[in-house]
Amino acid sequence: MKKIFKSLIVFACSTPLYVGAQTPATGTYHYNAYGQLVSDAPVAAQVVTVGQRQVGVSTILGATVVPYREVTLAAEMPGRVEFIAGREGDRFNQGEILVAVDAEELLARREQAVANMNNAMLALRNSQMQYGREWWAPESRNINRMPGMGLPSLFDQFFTRNLGSGMGYGNPWMERYTDLYSSGTQMGQARGQYIAAMSQLREIDARLRDTRTLSPFNGIIIQKMVEAGDTVQPGQPLLKYADLADLQLSVEVPSRLIKVVQEGMVVPALLDYNNQYIDVRLAQIFPMGNTQRHTITVKFDLPVGTAAWPGTYAEVMLPDNSASNESLIEIPTSAVVERGSLPIVYVVKGDRQELRLVRLGASYAKGKVTVLAGLKAGDQVLVNPPPGVKSDWLKKPSATQP
């Protein structure tokens, strides 16, 4: 019993005494939004002096997350919608059918056009044969065209035709040329009818293609405006289709700030979707301003793979050269303890510390955050405060303490 009592005394004497603390400051402790401990990975607590950062004055502008490409697909032919490929959120590859309109009337007209083309082709072949016969066997020299038979017909071929031509009655060469020209004209007309029939067939095929709305690029349906069975007219919107692989921020910039922006510049932005600060690159400045708002539309590219939701709100910080630079208090983010909605820090004064409510600003460097109110330059704050730390803690933790 005495040995056990002595062991307890030795253990108590070897343990450091912390007044007002629940646990010793042997490491960092991470809290959630409700001030509850979520991790106790050992990182030594330390005291740092509050510094200042010289920053230029920025103007915060509201922005909207938009797709890089977005189109509204409209009907090109009248009819009844008989097929819709999917619903909002479904993804499709380029060239897939999204909407199909009834095409029974066009199919019937196409069969008629095919029949007309076949008839025109037969007429063209017949005219070509007639022209070839006139070239090799002229109709003007056909003995069947002369009266008589046998010896009288032969007499007419050798004597009557040549004698009449010499006396100015008829011209065999002119008759042959006229017959040849007539056959060529008939062949040209048949060729024109065949080309017209082919053109009519291609026109119907083009209209048949217009009854099918294809995806112009890889993307998803973001809004449907018709359903299967609806009757549509040319120009009526069918659905909205967008490519969400690449996203942008659309900002309406006042004319006084447009002179400080240029394509390729990188500025910070805050996404409301996940409350995340990211750097965005200016991609496009529209050549004409908005006549109603008197602003100029500017688009910024989001980094590839950014978790964002199209249509959500965002903020973009643009430099304002019309105002001078300002000094902001900056502290490590590990010095801030989030308990509920009130961020706090512990200010060390001598051998004790004070709890301070602070108002946080923007973050301009990794692991740093600016303080708008609650601290001043030269204050000493506790970084990585242990759980259970309170004001008036009589022993200041050391960075070398195990």
Q: What is the pLDDT along the chain (402 residues), one digit of tens a residue?
A: 433 333 333 333 333 322 223 333 334 444 443 344 444 444 456 777 777 665 666 788 899 999 999 999 999 889 899 999 889 989 999 999 999 998 888 888 888 889 888 988 888 888 888 888 777 777 655 555 555 444 555 555 555 555 555 555 556 666 777 777 788 888 888 888 899 889 989 998 888 888 899 999 999 999 999 998 889 999 999 999 999 888 999 999 988 888 888 888 998 888 887 777 888 999 999 988 888 888 999 999 998 888 888 888 999 988 876 655 667 778 888 888 887 777 888 888 877 778 888 888 777 666 778 888 888 888 888 788 777 666 665 454 554 444
Q: Are strands 326-332 and 368-373 parallel, antiparallel or unpaired?
A: antiparallel
Integer Cα distance of 243 and 66 in angstroms: 10
CATH code: domain 58-67+243-319 is 2.40.30.170
Burial class (CB in 10 A: 0-12, 13-18, 19+), 93: exposed
Integer Cα distance of 220 and 96 in angstroms: 11
Per the CB < 8 A criterion, the answer to whether 292 and 258 are in contact is no
pLDDT recorded at residue 282? 93
Integer Cα distance of 315 and 281 in angstroms: 14
List, in sequence order, the alpha helices (H) in 137-171: 151-155, 161-166
pLDDT recorded at residue 3? 39
Integer Cα distance of 278 and 330 in angstroms: 19
Query: Around 3, how many Cα atoms within 13 Å sit in the side-chain half-sphere?
Result: 0
Please provide the DSSP assignment of 228-289 as one string.
TT-EE-TT-EEEEEEEEEEEEEEEEEETTTGGG--TT-EEEEEETTTTEEEEEEEEEE-SS-
What secondary structure letter does DSSP report for 156? I
Per CATH, which fold does 17-56+326-383 belong to? 2.40.420
Write down the pTM of the prediction.
Answer: 0.54
Token match 């740092």: residue? 48
Give the C-alpha distances (Å, rounded to integers) separating 285 from 61, 139, 242, 393: 15, 77, 21, 56
Q: Hey, where are the domains in the chain?
A: 17-56+326-383, 58-67+243-319, 105-210
pLDDT recorded at residue 278? 86
